Amino acid sequence: MTKTRVVFIVVILIVLGIIGASYLSQRGAGAPIIARTETLTVRIVCALPVEPFVSEAARQFNAEDHTLDGQPIEVVVTPMDGLVAMGRWDRGEMDPLPTVWIPDSRHLVELVNATLKEQRGRDVFLTGGEYRTRPIATSLFSWGIWESRDAVLRERFGEDITWSAIHDAAIARGGWPELGGEPEWGYFKLVVPNPRRNVGGLMAMVAAAGEYYQKTRIEVADVTNPEFQVWLGELMGAVTDFSSLGSYSVENLALFGYSMGDGGQLLESDLLVNMAGIQTRWVEPIVIRYPTYITWFDFPYTIWMGDETTALEKNAALEFERYLLSPEVQQLSIGYGLRPANAEVPITGEGSPFVRWQEQGAMTVVPRTTSMHSPDREVLLALLRWFDLNVGER
């Protein structure tokens, strides 16, 4: 054996000895041989109307194996009504803290941020910069009414369906026959989501108040006005059963039909996604009518800026936000009856429910521009208190 070969073998043995010693040292200390890459989890608490879209986008995102700085990103979506989430934020019961909150409307973010800012001394949700709150889709309140009932109401009260007309229909002592409808229809039955379970029910009362006072901003004094309270009580008295309506009023309307209600002001997206089921199950369709005072829902993507999440987790949330706002994913939102937040994405493409249900009143462009201002916390609490005292879970 040559001297060179002997030296080579000795070097190999030394290297193997070092590797073996390192292995035994790691085994003895309980350390893994290869460090595992931890997953960056983006936890999202999401408003009910937009949750199916966000969950589908999350499923696709997760399947595409997105990473950030070499670490895989996983998005987990939890559905939760905006008012329920706001209560948990206020009481410090949001556990675990989500990386992102997508409520029904931006004003809920502003209310929660104001409360938590007093506690923490700084904003936890931002309105500017890279991490600012941004809508991922929009929808609005519209009237959804059975076609036969709609024809009678418009013949009796005029072409526009208004809260005033609905109120007068609700208090008609002779029921539908007095209004020009069929005797078997009974009395007018209003459909409004339960305000304690769905922010839509609360915003329906805000919209009714706006039309009652003919203004876009409601104050506590308006809510406590005795004359308005009588009017609102008569209106809400036409709801057959708030306890059964729960959080999914349009689904219940599609399932139970006329016995559930004759119509009400409901989220456009909910109406559009249930149109086909209603057409299949019942002998007549629902028609959509747009109110004079529009209530918008903008579903803001809101990143939690507290120290409970790392900078990398916040940036992972940004990655999913960019994904949600991409034209391809925004196109998905249309199938859920939502209006895309990305202006590059038209809502008139193939398969669009806005086009499919135009004969039932759906509009790609809403002609009116009068929008209700978001109510402050005191107005919301006053309306909820009035509801608990006068209507509740009857």
Contact by Cβ (8 Å): 135, 299: yes
What does the pLDDT look like over 164-180, one tens digit per residue?
999 999 999 999 999 99
Q: Are residues 123 and 47 in the same domain?
A: yes
Q: Which of 309, 293, 179, 167 is nearest to 238 (CA)?
A: 167
| pLDDT of amino acid 317 | 98
Same domain, 47 and 130: yes
Q: Peptide bond preceding 96: is omega within 30 degrees of 0, i.e. cis?
A: yes
CA distance 146 to 176: 13
Confidence of residue 245 (pLDDT cuts 50, 70, 90): low
Are residues 284 and 303 part of one domain? no
Q: Is 191 inside any structural domain? A: yes
197 pLDDT band, cuts 50/70/90, is confident
Residues 186 and 289 in one domain: yes
Specify whether 180 is located in the same domain as 147: yes
Are 121 and 154 found together in one domain? no
* 307 in the same domain as 255: no
Calculate mean pLDDT across residues 203-207: 91
Q: Is the pLDDT of residue 217 over 70?
A: yes
Query: How many domains does one find in the chain?
Result: 2
- Token pair of 95, please? 């556990």
Between 31 and 170, where is the model more confident?
170
Sequence-separated (6 or more) residues with CB below 8 Å from residue 113: 123, 124, 125
CB atoms within 10 A of CB 383: 23
pLDDT of residue 30: 43
Same domain, 306 and 288: no
DSSP-derived letter for residue 259 is G
CATH of the domain at 241: 3.40.190.10
The predicted model scores a pTM of 0.86
Residue 115: pLDDT over 90: yes
Quote the domain boundaries for residue 242. Answer: 140-295+359-390
Asked whether residue 130 falls in the same domain as residue 157, the answer is no
Asked whether residue 255 is assigned to any structural domain, the reply reads: yes
What pLDDT does 159 receive?
87
When pLDDT is averaged across residues 218-246 and rounded to a whole number, the result is 88
In this predicted structure, the answer to whether residue 36 has a pLDDT above a threshold of 60 is no
Assign 25 a pLDDT band (cuts: 50, 70, 90): very low
pLDDT of residue 168: 96
Over residues 344-380, the pLDDT tens digits come to 999 998 889 999 999 999 999 987 667 888 888 899 9
When pLDDT is cut at 50, 70 and 90, the band that residue 130 belongs to is: very high
261 and 208 co-located in one domain: yes
Does residue 226 fall inside a structural domain? Answer: yes
Summarised one tens digit per residue, pLDDT across range 151-161 is 999 999 998 89
Give the mean model confidence (pLDDT) for residues 301-305: 97
Residue 376 has, within 13 A of its CA and on its CB side, a CA count of 9
Is 245 in the same domain as 367?
A: yes
* pLDDT on residue 79: 96
Same-domain pairing of 144 and 291: yes
| 2: in domain | no
Does 267 reside within a domain?
Answer: yes
**Distance between CA atoms of residues 323 and 329, nearest Å:** 7
